[in-house]
Copies of this chain bind each other. A is one copy, B any other.
């Protein structure tokens, strides 16, 4: 047996118009452009609307204006606190502008991304890509159809907001160098992650300049479990210093090393990326490169809305947000010389970047 929702159909603009004794267009105006309607009439309309409990139907409005005031936000793993926070700030910024968020948690699947986006495309005014495993060209195809902004990734032709990985990595390497480490292993995240490539490149450069040996293992899943797994491989290629793609991985690495009988930071120093809340909670607390998440969300939404409102998109180069190194307990003076031969910059496992 079907229960009907709602019991009584919602009042329409026709009802308001009839009761107020004006044309529907006047009612419409009274809400959209109060200036363009007689003050008294407007007041009367408002009163009637209030009285009837009238709320403009957003669907109907969207059909005639082709504006839904909805934004799609896509991320690859809502369970990662980094994205959870990003979503929070994105939704806050959107909400302040009267927009609502359609969340797509792609769960690390590019097929899922693509299909969902395809479905959502006609419904949203714009798209925020918080992270994506899709190819550049696939993303550009989408960007051609709707205004889009990309976070954490540079995409020529599409406005993007990134953090200063280069400088962040540089700081991390300087920090480790200052602690007398001479070899750093990078624990890589997903191949499809733009930030991952960026970070590894930045590490190599910094290592080169500061005369440290750099290595890379991976790719691994960008999660605690991925880090745990990486710790296993790490045992085969010992280093005194590790930089992981992100915080969950770094924490996984720490736990994995501990299981293998190594102590952090006494035997191995570990650095993460993002400074999510959990990096403060674990013991040892994680040294990490902090990203300004709130700013990233806000900037992304702001840029997107600007484009929606007719601004020329700034697609020349990504908007770069500053980062900073937060030093906590997971890094310490190097206590022994690296046991591995100095291999120079090399990739010891997984696919090359």
A interface list, Cβ under 8 A from B: 1-3, 5-7, 10, 55, 57-60, 62-63, 66, 68, 70, 78-79, 81, 84-85, 87-88, 91-92, 95, 100-105, 107, 112, 116, 118-123, 144-147, 224, 251, 255, 277-278, 280-283, 307, 310, 312-313
Contacts and interface: CB of A to CB of B under 8 A. Distances in A.
A115 B22 CA distance: 29
Mostly, the A contact residues are mixed
A84 B79 contact: yes
A79 B277 contact: yes
Stoichiometry (number of copies): 2
Contacts of A107: 88, 92
A307 B5 CA distance: 10
Contacts of A66: 59
B78 A87 contact: yes
Contacts of A282: 281-283
B57 A6 contact: no
B123 A59 contact: yes
30 contacts: A1-B310, A2-B310, A3-B307, A5-B145, A6-B145, A10-B122, A57-B122, A58-B119, A58-B122, A59-B66, A59-B122, A78-B84, A78-B88, A78-B91, A81-B84, A87-B103, A87-B105, A88-B105, A91-B104, A91-B105, A92-B107, A100-B102, A100-B116, A100-B123, A103-B103, A224-B277, A224-B281, A278-B278, A281-B281, A282-B283
A19 B44 CA distance: 49
Contacts of A281: 224, 251, 255, 278, 281-282
Contacts of A147: 5
Contacts of A101: 102-103
A60 B63 contact: yes
Contacts of A119: 58, 100
Nearest to A309: B2
Given A101-B103, A105-B88, A59 B55 contact: no
A257 to B, nearest CB: 13
Contacts of A103: 87, 91, 101-103
B144 A6 contact: yes
Q: Report which residue of A81, A255, A313 has the largest number of chain B beta carbons within 10 angstroms of its beta carbon.
A: A81
